[in-house]
Chains A and B, each alone.
Chain A
């Protein structure tokens, strides 16, 4: 199975700062990578799909890039509601797999 490694595990930032989250795949997933945001007690929410496409309702401060094995989710200027855990997921090969998550905290 394809292993996804996210870094860093925790990102401590302040509102208004830029967040850069990384996801590395153990083998190429082409552009078949999604990012999810999850807040405590809630189901995950799709943020980015196919590596660089913003999901429905996601603000433009979110952007995604990468292909192959290296991917990045960038939040250009953190808003209070952005503090959450973010997971990447590869959708290239079943079993689909998730990364371990990056917690973006204040």
Chain B
């Protein structure tokens, strides 16, 4: 069974940094492209970025609002995905989800339960 468990959320002040983690199990993490999506309170879903598998180059791509401030990385030895968030703004307040389309061809997208990040002074 696929499990994705995010952690690292919390309350931070504007301008500060935070690193989120997503622990993965139940699939071959090293072969998976991984994605971060967020949802501000009462708002819709926002794709933040993704990181390719090592065999596909392990490069990351980002949405414009976070490019240059957020960085996605992975540790395949620990089956863990990371989201480094720098220069946080109040508008970054949201629930942050990791997800994988590892089983997309079989009609599945797996999501974590989300972790709340609150940016407030």
What is the interface of chain A, defined by CB distance below 8 A to chain B? 1, 34, 36, 38, 43-46, 49, 53-56, 58, 87, 89, 94-101
Contact = CB atoms under 8 A, between A and B. Distances in A.
Given A44-B37, A96-B35, 12 more contacts: A1-B63, A36-B109, A38-B45, A43-B113, A44-B109, A49-B107, A55-B107, A96-B50, A97-B47, A98-B44, A98-B47, A99-B44
B47 A43 contact: no
Contact of B45 (A49, A58, A87, A95): A87
A100 B107 contact: no
B102 interface: no
A98 B64 CA distance: 14
* Chain B residues touching A, range: 20 to 34
A95 B109 CA distance: 17
A44 B44 contact: no
A77 B30 CA distance: 41
Interface in B36-64: 37, 44-47, 49-50, 61-64
A49 B99 CA distance: 15
